[in-house]
Amino acid sequence: MFGLDKKDTSMLIIVAILTLFAPFILNPFPTESAMAQFNAGYPDLMQRFVIFGIFAIGFNILFGLTGYLSFGHAAFLGVGSYSAVWMFKLIGMNVIPAIMLSVIVAGLFALLIGFVSLRRSGIYFSILTLAFAQMSFNLAYSVLTPITNGETGLQLTLEDPRVLGVSATADGSIPVTNLFGLEMRSTFELALGPWAFQFNAGYYLCALIMLAAFYLAIRIFRSPFGMMLRAVKSNQQRMNYTGLNTRPYTLAAFVISGMYAGLAGGLMASMDPLAGAERMQWTASGEVVLMTILGGAGTLIGPVLGAGFIKYFENIFSKINDNVLHTWFSFLPDGMEDAVVFIIHPFIGKGWHLTLGILFMLVVIFLPGGLVEGGQRIKGWLSRRKAKDSGKAAGETNPAE
């Protein structure tokens, strides 16, 4: 099916089901319950899940297959965002041309940076990509202010020409992004008893694009091109000794990865027409590295899991404050309640990075293959237990004489 084997088809179907039914899956608790704090089924967060999933999938094509660790991929994310916003300002509010331009510009930018950076490998390659990303950040922040609007960020205004659209709506406000008339912020709410589910047009556009990006990643992983990239990761020096030039393959992987990042940046701007230099900082590049390693570098579904995991912690745990903790532990005596809140306080709210860091350390130490390895271990344990139970049952029904 779709040119994939049975295993890959099953994985694609599972990802599609999880993605399309995310509003139900991410809202397990009733709206008015104390546990509703952990619900994540609202449009902005679901959009971030799939957009950063695309970002991580693309990064994994470079890092997971070739072993080249880039610390500069946020530059392509930012370039994609700026390109999309300029398309909205000059042409119109339809997201398709903006997304296409984001991918093209990010691909050209990746070609330029990759051509220079891939002359080195290992830590030197990583430092070069980091240097290019920081140069891009500083250019966007201060030097190229006529194009990027500096620290304020590039935004839409009523004075924008929009040759294929309107500069202002009938009520005098800025038009919203749309897909051939369907507004990206359009949301349908479904109430089922104490539960409330939101179905957002922008999220489903991002979800469908992520599924297409995931399918393309599968085809790349299973192709002869993907096998060549794995060979580069295994022993590039030996390949060079055979007379095979590996640079075209690594450069192609770098450009494809950069185009994925540009796609993610274009989608971010399509959901919220704003582009700022902070999207190009080295911290954003480090975040996608964490996502890929946490989920499982070199695996197909790992980066998607890692992106969802980190974005969930960033948006859910960061909102928990002392008042919420006091509500949860109000059944304890006053002194004990205050003590428990004091102990937990450094790990929530602004300190959520500490919790994420501890979890990341545990995963790296005990699950070097990331969350995917954890799932494989659980699956193997269940299989062994099932086989053991089957063996016991067979022994009971057929006792040895």
Q: pLDDT tens for residues 156-176?
A: 988 888 888 888 888 888 899
Residue 171: how many CB atoms within 10 A of its CB? 5
Mean per-residue pLDDT, 379-394: 79
Contact status, residue 65 vs residue 292, Cβ threshold 8 Å: no
Residue 2's alpha-carbon distances to 8, 71, 216, 301, in angstroms, are: 10, 34, 11, 18
The average confidence (pLDDT) of the chain is 88
pLDDT, residue 397, reads 56
Comparison of pLDDT for 105 and 328, the residue scoring more:
105
Mean per-residue pLDDT, 28-43: 84
| pLDDT at position 7 over 60 | yes
Query: Using 50, 70 and 90 to split pLDDT, how confident is the model at 396?
Result: low
Closest to 196 in 3D by CA, of 45, 46, 36: 36
Predicted TM-score (pTM) of the model is 0.91
Residue 239: how many CB atoms within 10 A of its CB? 16
Comparison of pLDDT for 317 and 266, the residue scoring more:
266
Query: Using 50, 70 and 90 to split pLDDT, how confident is the model at 400?
Result: very low
| pLDDT at position 222 over 70 | yes
pLDDT, residue 1, reads 64
CA 102 to chain centroid, in Å, comes to 17
Interacting residues of 174 by C-beta distance below 8 A, sequence separation 6+: 156, 157, 158, 168
- The CATH code belonging to domain 6-281 is 1.10.3470
Amino acid identity for residue 2 in this structure = F
Q: Where are the domains of the chain?
A: 6-281
Comparison of pLDDT for 122 and 80, the residue scoring more:
80
pLDDT, residue 34, reads 73
Closest to 96 in 3D by CA, of 209, 203, 197: 209
Query: Using 50, 70 and 90 to split pLDDT, how confident is the model at 86?
Result: very high
| pLDDT at position 307 over 60 | yes
Comparison of pLDDT for 302 and 240, the residue scoring more:
302
Closest to 115 in 3D by CA, of 99, 132, 102: 132
CA–CA distance, 206 with 55 (Å, rounded to integer)? 12
| pLDDT at position 322 over 70 | yes
Query: What is the four-CA torsion angle of 88, 94, 97, 100, rounded to 10 degrees?
Result: 100
pLDDT, residue 317, reads 77
Contact status, residue 210 vs residue 19, Cβ threshold 8 Å: yes
Residue 288 structure tokens: 């996608």
Helix (H) or strand (E) holding 182: strand 182-183
CB burial of 377-401 (b: ≥16 within 10 Å; e: otherwise) equals eeeeeeeeeeeeeeeeeeeeeeeee
Interacting residues of 213 by C-beta distance below 8 A, sequence separation 6+: 54, 57, 58, 260, 263
Q: Which range among 100-114, 124-138, 198-212, 236-250 shows the weakest confidence by mean pLDDT?
A: 236-250
pLDDT, residue 401, reads 43
| pLDDT at position 352 over 50 | yes
Q: Is 155 strand, coil or helix?
A: strand
| pLDDT at position 246 over 70 | yes
